[in-house]
A and B are shown apart, each in its own frame.
Chain A
Amino acid sequence: MNKIPSALIIGLRRGSLEIKQFSRQRESVVFTLFFPVILLVIFGSVFQNTIAPGVTFSQYFVAGMIASGLVNTGFQALAITIPMERDVGALKRLRGTPMPASSYFIGKAILIFASMAVQIFMLLGFGVLFFGLEMPTEISKWITFTWLVILGSACSTALGIAFSIVPKSGRGASAVVSPIVIILQFFSGVFFVFTQLPWWMQQVAAIFPLKWLTQGMRSVFLPDSFAAEEVAGSWEIGRTLIILLIWLAIGIYFSVRKFKWDRD
């Protein structure tokens, strides 16, 4: 009698299956990968003003788009598609096999990370080619960028899986999830300069991860002189790390304890 494959092995296989499945859904591929670029083109073309010495709005916006891409690709996509998988009985079928829940979560994390990587590559490419985005040269900024993307993806995946228990059906999921994400984007300084938002909006945004991800991305792509323009007068990297870790823990807790495999 052989052993049942480990949770990690099955998780990796699920990851490649999820990517294969995703890449065959042309609409979602276009929406997920190109939509942020389309937004960048629109906003970058409309707002060509300079918001601080040497900082254009498009640069500010690219940082925000990468951060909100993490939320769209992970949290929003999962909180909508998982209830759909639940509706058609796909999750219940998986529950009836020896596949552990952790393998399913690992597969989702791999899918989100992979599509995030493609999306970031495209955003940076467009940003550099058409909107005067400058790539950071310091190694420390790339280190910040790397952990922001990895931790941001993980956080967004975990919260998306956790939030998938909220929508009652796949059909209604988009109506529950999308407004939350859009409001969060406005509050967190993706579409506007954060410090110009009303004080109460800033306070609300500071509870959620997106504000910290956008601020973190600005620390990577904007000159350090701009740090003085932030709410705290600095990039607050340490605090960003802590807040993302807390949200990751919350996401994992609810995913593991409360995940719903069946409709009722």
Chain B
Amino acid sequence: MSLIEVKGLKKNYGALQAVRGLDLQIEQGEIFSLLGPNGAGKTTTVEILEGFRVRDSGSVSVLGIDPQIKGQESREWRNRIGIVLQNSADAGDLSVGETVEHFSNYYSNPLDVQHVIDSVGLSEKQGALIRTLSGGQRRRLDVALGIIGNPELLFLDEPTTGFDPQARRAFWSLIQQLRSDGTTILLTTHYLDEAQALADRVAVINHGQIVEVSTPTELGGRATAQATVQWRDGAQIKLEKTDNPTDLVTKLSTSFGGEVPELIVTRPSLEDIYLEMIGNPDE
């Protein structure tokens, strides 16, 4: 059985059909990324999986449990998951160490507080009050609070919004570390390069349904899509689209007698494919 199984999920807000018959399977140990434009039903789907929202119909199983359970069973279930939400900006008058230590008391088998603080790179900020942290440092604290319970499954919602490139790279390696420790991660993001860098599989969601599930390199036939070959010919930059870039490059190499000046071969980026798939968002 998959770690997350969703079948025929539906959710309406009044007349608006936010999610219309969505199916999804996420396997143990993978980083799975959910992509989709605003209003596609992404947030609603994730919040149903997190147990924050009640579905209208369909079946949902997360770690073998229906997220709508209540009471003690719900606590047992939440003990096994971690959630990193968008915009949490609370408890500014507590220190990083105090906050992580406090949250560790909510779980049956928390990770070592010091280890978690070190692993998110906040060791030097341990005694600092939260309100003195930068945006990126706060986000790292959010992740620390999401993983302190040693979760089997971690929800990450837009984790690197507002990060500078350096901080994003550091954050990505933290997430990859978690995966190699065995944590399954459901990542929602607007950044296609982030999905490309982190995800084992991506799903594109639009109009409340899954459009495609694939690896980032194969999504939308990306791996076999026409390649663009670019080179310099005298004063001119030349571009050519082709199904057989190797042939073209060989031909060019022959005509230039070896090195092709300023040669670049590209396939469509994940972003190009994605934008093509979701079409005009106003449709």
Contacts and interface: CB of A to CB of B under 8 A. Distances in A.
A257 interface: no
Given A96-B50, A98-B79, A90 B90 contact: yes
Given A4-B79, A4-B108, A20-B94, A97 B103 contact: yes
A99 interface: yes
Most buried by A among B52, B86, B106, B129: B106
A2 interface: yes
Contacts of B88: 88-90, 92-93
A1 B108 contact: yes
Interface string B50-70: 111000000000000000000
A1 to B, nearest CB: 6
A96 B109 CA distance: 16
A238 interface: no
Interface in B123-156: 129, 145, 149
B75 interface: yes
Interface in B76-90: 76, 78-79, 81, 83, 85-90
A24 B132 CA distance: 14
A90 B92 CA distance: 11
Interface in A127-147: none
Given A17-B102, A93-B145, A95-B52, A4 B89 contact: no
Contacts of A92: 52, 85, 88
B231 interface: no
Given A10-B105, A93-B90, A98 B149 contact: yes
Interface residues of B, number: 29
B93 interface: yes
Given A21-B91, A90-B88, A262 B52 contact: yes
Contacts of A100: 75
A93 B84 CA distance: 8
A236 interface: no
A2 B105 CA distance: 12
Nearest to B99: A17
Nearest to B80: A98
Most buried by A among B85, B90, B107: B90
Given A89-B89, A93-B85, A98-B79, A5 B52 contact: no
A100 B85 CA distance: 19
B106 A98 contact: yes
A5 B90 contact: no
B98 interface: yes
Given A5-B106, A21-B93, A90-B91, A98 B78 contact: yes
A3 interface: yes
A198 B170 CA distance: 69
Most buried by B among A25, A88, A92: A92
B6 to A, nearest CB: 19
A24 to B, nearest CB: 4
A168 interface: no
A258 to B, nearest CB: 15
A3 B85 contact: no
Given A97-B149, A98-B78, A98-B79, A2 B90 contact: no
Contacts of B93: 21, 24-25
A29 B90 CA distance: 19
B94 A89 contact: no
A20 B79 CA distance: 26
A214 to B, nearest CB: 33
Nearest to A23: B93
Contacts of A262: 52
Contacts of A98: 75-76, 78-79, 106-108, 149
Interface of B: 50-52, 75-76, 78-79, 81, 83, 85-91, 93-94, 98, 102-103, 105-109, 129, 145, 149
Given A17-B98, A88-B88, A96-B51, 11 more contacts: A21-B93, A25-B93, A85-B90, A88-B89, A89-B90, A93-B83, A93-B90, A96-B78, A97-B149, A98-B78, A98-B107
23 contacts: A1-B108, A1-B109, A4-B79, A5-B108, A17-B94, A17-B98, A20-B98, A21-B94, A24-B93, A85-B90, A89-B90, A90-B88, A90-B91, A92-B85, A93-B90, A96-B50, A96-B51, A96-B85, A97-B106, A97-B107, A97-B149, A98-B76, A98-B79
